[in-house]
Structure 1
Amino acid sequence: MRALFLLAVAALACPMGVRAEVKESAADHALFVNARTIHASPDKVYTALIDIGHWWDSQHTYSGDAANLSLQASAGGCFCERWASQGVEHGRVIWANPGHLLRLDTALGPLQGMAVEGVMTFALKPSGDGTALQFEYRVTGSSASGLDKLAPDVDGVLMQQLQRLQHYAETGSAAPIKP
């Protein structure tokens, strides 16, 4: 079965210089942040964001096909993957404000099996000819989690997904961006 976060492969596939910032990391926590301008309106970016099956990389799913992903953008809504007789809840929406903010309670991929907690926030604000996206992912767990050792690989996967989201919002295609 393919893990949602094939961490090592993704870290190698993500071009240097396009990483989110690992703002903090220790054995028991990690904080990832990224700010970028997306050349699309906040409403269009939000619509693209919740259309996750079109921009998420299939390589980072359990089923091998991002079309099996869905995101119900309302409080309590599921960020789920369903295929054949299987299903995975990757996260749950804890705040949905269309065109402005989406927050998920999510421990993605192998983090889920580590019994850590994660909160992922996408904040959107109008900016010039587009949208200022402020991304933040906070993960906490016990000191045995070793999150500081995982942080660089998680960062690589997160940045790859944010690049795909940006490309999808701007062009309607999630084709990989060449460095």
Structure 2
Amino acid sequence: MQLVLAAVAAVVASSGAARAEVVDVQPNGFEVRHALHLAVPPDKAYAALVDIGRWWSPDHTFSGDSANLSIEPKAGGCFCEALKDGGSVAHMRVVFVAPGKMLRLEGALGPLQTLGVTGHLAFALKPQDGGADLVLTYDVGGYAKDGFAGWATPVDHVLGLQMARLKAYAETGKP
């Protein structure tokens, strides 16, 4: 898995297509940020973004199948995952929607759900050079017994992988 993440990071870095960083880490939280250019207009980028089951990595789901993921793009909507036998996971709640411009969600992704934390995940789209610039920020805060120093970098890497997959899906139809 780390080899895959390193390969993705190397490809993204060498293409100049994305900028990623752990912006800040404090004892009570952290912020990560990813910026990339999509060679599609903002409305098409947004449509791809909310079609999350088509591009999110199955390696970062509870069910092992990205097709079980969905985002209901309206305030109060759910970024959810269906599990077999009728189970489900609410990954995040949609708090702001401006189609083609902005999607904001709140909640704790993946293993962060086991901590006393919440997060704010924002996807901002802006028209640029015949396509769209996308900036993702994820701010996480709350209580983690050993602090957040060990969480920021892995979360940054996973979100970087997801952004590379989103870019590929938006531009080619395949993650």
TM-score (norm: length of structure 1): 0.88
Q: How many residues align?
A: 165
Instruction: Note if 1:13 corresponds to 2:14.
Output: no
Instruction: State the secondary structure of the residue aligned to 2:121.
Output: strand
* Residue matched to 1:96: 97
CA RMSD, 1 decimal = 1.4
* Residue matched to 2:150: 149
* Residue matched to 2:164: 163
TM-superposition CA deviations, 1:77-123 (whole Å, max 9, x none)? 00000122210000000001100000000210110110201000000
Aligned partners of 2:70 and 2:80 also within 8 Å: yes
Which amino acid in 2 is paired with 1:89?
Answer: A
Instruction: State the secondary structure of the residue aligned to 2:37.
Output: strand
Aligned partners of 2:68 and 2:82 also within 8 Å: yes
* Residue matched to 1:76: 76
Q: How does 1:1-179 map to 2 (within 5 A)?
A: 9=1, 11-14=2-5, 15=7, 16-17=9-10, 18=13, 20-84=20-84, 85-142=86-143, 144=145, 146-174=147-175
**Alpha-carbon separation, structure 2, partners of 1:146 and 1:111:** 12
Aligned partners of 2:29 and 2:141 also within 8 Å: yes
Which amino acid in 2 is paired with 1:29?
Answer: G
Which amino acid in 2 is paired with 1:64?
Answer: G
**Alpha-carbon separation, structure 2, partners of 1:74 and 1:115:** 26
Whose RCO is larger (CA < 8 A, sep 6+)? 1
Which amino acid in 2 is paired with 1:155?
Answer: D
Deviation at 1:56, TM superposition (A): 0.3
TM-superposition CA deviations, 1:22-70 (whole Å, max 9, x none)? 0001231110011111100000000000000000001110000000001
Instruction: State the secondary structure of the residue aligned to 1:102.
Output: strand
Runs of 4+ in 1 over 3 A off after TM superposition: 16-19
Deviation at 1:172, TM superposition (A): 0.6
**Alpha-carbon separation, structure 1, partners of 2:117 and 2:131:** 34
Gaps of 5+ in 1: 1-8, 175-179
Deviation at 1:150, TM superposition (A): 1.2
**Alpha-carbon separation, structure 2, partners of 1:83 and 1:173:** 24
**Alpha-carbon separation, structure 2, partners of 1:109 and 1:158:** 11
**Alpha-carbon separation, structure 2, partners of 1:119 and 1:145:** 21
**Alpha-carbon separation, structure 2, partners of 1:142 and 1:113:** 10
Q: Which has the higher helix share?
A: 2
Aligned partners of 1:23 and 1:33 also within 8 Å: yes
Aligned partners of 1:27 and 1:149 also within 8 Å: no
**Alpha-carbon separation, structure 1, partners of 2:116 and 2:173:** 35
**Alpha-carbon separation, structure 2, partners of 1:138 and 1:49:** 19
Task: Report sequence identity in percent.
Answer: 45
